Amino acid sequence: MNTSIRKTESWVPPTPPHALKKRPRNFTHQASNRRLPEFHFDVNVTSKCNLACTYCSEGESCGLSTIFQAPTNLLPDELVKKVLELDKTKYSAVNLYFWGGEAFTNWPFCKAVMNKLANVKYINFMFYTNGVYLKKYKKQLATIDKKLGTRGSSSPWQNNGQRRLHIQVSFDGEPINTLERHTKTGPDEKMSAHVFDSYLDLKESGFSIALKQTISARNFKYLFDVWKWHYDRGIMYGPTPDTHGSDEKRPDGGAWPEGEFGENLKQLKLNMIKISKYCIDRDIIPSNTFRWYGKSRADCGSGMNYLAIDLDGKLYPCHGCMYRQRDDHLAGTSKDNLQDIATTTTEKYMDFLHTFKTDQTLDCNNCQVDFCLKCPAGSFDRSETTADTYGEAWQDHPSNWQLCKVWKTISPIVDATNISFDKKYPKNRRETPNLNMPLCKPELASLYA
Ligand code: SF4
Ligand code: SF4
Ligand code: SF4
């Protein structure tokens, strides 16, 4: 046995159901204290957006959507019918996520769906939003939030007092929010201030609401400033690095020349060292304020009790695959029975994950980094040229070499910083995420903890 392999902390590889003689307790890939897994369903409700962010892979600025600036072809009743095809005895909850473009530009659709499903207590809702319209819809959101109430009154094991409606605001922190999240006329500090103020307003009003950040490699030079911006406001920082700049299909991107990316990595290193030093000098435990200092090589949950539906009714294993719009990832269409598709994809992607976790020849299994956001939807495209099968391409995370390099660059700095803190505070336990969530939904881990 290769003893250099380090498994993800507290992770137990799921065993594909067809490989089992007897069903083990961890069969459903859910937290051990839960009887049933939750189902996640991403719904693209529109490709329209009021912004034109520099790193957008979803809305109109890059034109990757199925239909340019249009709402979903589905009617609210059709979506409701699909969701109700899921076998409720298999799940402790079903979570519906409204995506865009900007989901609030199709508010009538989202509102109709929430109203029609309000009495189906095991269904929860979440908006991914740029936050610009939060104040505009606050009153209507309050009405529906009140109607929906808290989670799980029919499911005691998930009755944790969380609201059934959750809102996640994409907000990157200053100065980069203003630099990255552009209005149609360009950077706008007033718009940024409005979004942050709206977030605080809804939070104070008792909504379940959180911020989610992104940082482009070109803005690694602001990493210290933007982390500090969050730290000063008591907000956890954990951005997704954007490496779409290498996607030649994007009109705003084009491949990063290697030299230019190298310069970005240099900035990343310098800024991480600055953050570490700031924390050490002031006794701030970095993993409590910046997720990249935590121990997390959470695995992608794509397809495992998780599906996404595009504007044209096509089904994919997750929103990342949906936005790539490749037939390789296609799982079905709205004409198929949703539970049948869910059962097939869960088995298929559990199989991939099991191989990924147990195949000792794969690069990731011999990698020493503690934190990594592996996204097969992002790495698949580059891997297809060398991989023989879909499964091989799916598991070839390092083929997204830029993202891989981000984690390998920060890793020695994170390690050295954490070792110094572990010596000083031996009782401090670094938080690990809920590894049973799809990793692109880490913000929800706290809701289910
Ligand atoms: S708000 Fe979201 S969908 Fe709209 S342009 Fe920005 S990243 Fe794209
Ligand atoms: S990590 Fe990527 S492939 Fe996996 S669920 Fe998230 S977007 Fe999809
Ligand atoms: S993608 Fe790269 S950094 Fe992440 S685990 Fe794999 S080899 Fe390591």
* More confident: 223 or 418: 223
**318 Cα nearest atom in ligand 2:** 8
pLDDT of 139 > 50? The answer is yes
Output the pLDDT for position 360.
85
Atom 7 of ligand 2, residue of closest alpha carbon: 320
Q: Among residues 254, 267, 258, 184, which one has the least CA distance to residue 218?
A: 267
pTM for the full predicted model: 0.89
Q: Is the predicted pLDDT of residue 173 greater than 80, yes or no?
A: yes
Average the pLDDT over 424-441 and give the result: 66
Q: Is the CB of residue 235 below 6 angstroms from any atom belonging to ligand 1?
A: no
**pLDDT tens for residues 64-73?**
566 678 899 9
Which pLDDT does position 203 carry in this prediction?
97
* Cα 424 from Cα 414, distance rounded (Å): 15
Reported as a single tens digit per residue, the pLDDT across 276-310 is: 999 999 999 999 999 999 888 878 889 999 999 99
Burial bucket for residue 448 (CB in 10 Å: 0-12, 13-18, 19+)? buried
Cβ(65)–Cβ(311) below 8 Å: yes
Among protein residues, the one whose CA lies closest to atom 6 of ligand 2: 440
Task: Examine the pLDDT at 436 and tell me if it is beyond 60.
Answer: no
Q: 154-163, 192-201, 337-346, 410-419: lowest mean pLDDT where? A: 154-163
Ligand 3 centroid–CA 385 distance in Å is 19
CA distances from 388 to 244, 394, 396 (A): 25, 11, 11
Q: Residue 357: pLDDT band by 50, 70, 90 thresholds?
A: confident
Please work out whether the CB of residue 364 comes within 6 Å of at least one atom of ligand 3: yes
Of 395, 51, 409, 59, the residue nearest 217 (C-alpha): 409
Please compute the mean of the pLDDT values over residues 100-114 and round it to a whole number: 96
Q: Residue 97 in 3-state DSSP?
A: strand
Q: Does residue 418 have a pLDDT over 80? A: yes
pLDDT at position 449, please? 38
Over residues 323-348, the mean pLDDT reads 95
- Ligand 3 pocket residue status of 300, Cβ below 6 Å: no
Query: Is residue 160 exposed (0-12), middle (13-18) or buried (19+ Cβ within 10 Å)?
Result: exposed
Give the span between the Cα atoms of 276 and 416, in whole angstroms.
Answer: 9
Residue 381 is predicted with a pLDDT of 84
pLDDT average, residue stretch 419-444: 69
Structural domain spans, the chain: 35-265+294-361+438-448
Å from CA of 302 to ligand 2 middle: 5
pLDDT of residue 54: 81
Residue 247: pLDDT over 90: no
Angle at 13 between CA 306 and CA 157, to 5 degrees: 60
* Topology, domain 35-265+294-361+438-448: TIM Barrel (3.20.20)
- Indicate if ligand 2 lies below 6 Å from the C-beta of 286: no
Instruction: State the virtual CA torsion across 11, 344, 58, 196 in degrees, nearest 10.
Output: -50
Q: What angle do CA 306, 310, 311 make, to 5 degrees?
A: 150
369 CA distance to ligand 3 middle (Å): 7
Residue that is written with structure tokens 């005691």 in the block: 156
Please give the pLDDT value at position 70: 87
Q: Which atom of ligand 2 is nearest to the CA of 301?
A: 5
Q: Is the pLDDT of residue 88 over 50?
A: yes
State the pLDDT at residue 26.
39
The finding on whether 102 has its CB within 6 A of some atom of ligand 1 is yes
Contact yes or no for 117/182 (Cβ under 8 A):
no
Q: How confident is the model at residue 157 (pLDDT cuts 50, 70, 90)?
A: very low
Mean pLDDT, range 248-262, rounded to an integer: 62
Lowest-confidence region among 8-12, 236-240, 410-414: 8-12
Cβ(318) – ligand 2 distance below 6 Å: yes
pLDDT of 61 > 60? The answer is no
Contacts with 222 (C-beta within 8 Å, 6 or more apart), sequence order: 175, 176, 179, 215, 271
Provide the mean pLDDT of the chain: 84
Check whether 25 has a pLDDT greater than 60.
no
The pair of three-digit structure tokens given for residue 280, joined into one six-digit string: 């050490």
- Structural tokens at position 75: 């009617």
Q: pLDDT at position 20, please?
A: 42
374, 364 contact by CB (below 8 A): yes
Residue 22 CB burial class (10 angstroms; 0-12, 13-18, ≥19): exposed
| Interval 365-401: pLDDT, tens | 889 898 998 889 888 988 877 888 999 999 999 988 8
Which pLDDT value is given to residue 431? 58
CB of 377 shorter than 6 A to ligand 2: yes
Cα torsion through 389, 394, 398, 404, rounded to 10: 170
- Residue-level pLDDT at 327: 94
Residue 35 predicted with pLDDT over 90: no
231 within ligand 3 shell (Cβ under 6 A): no
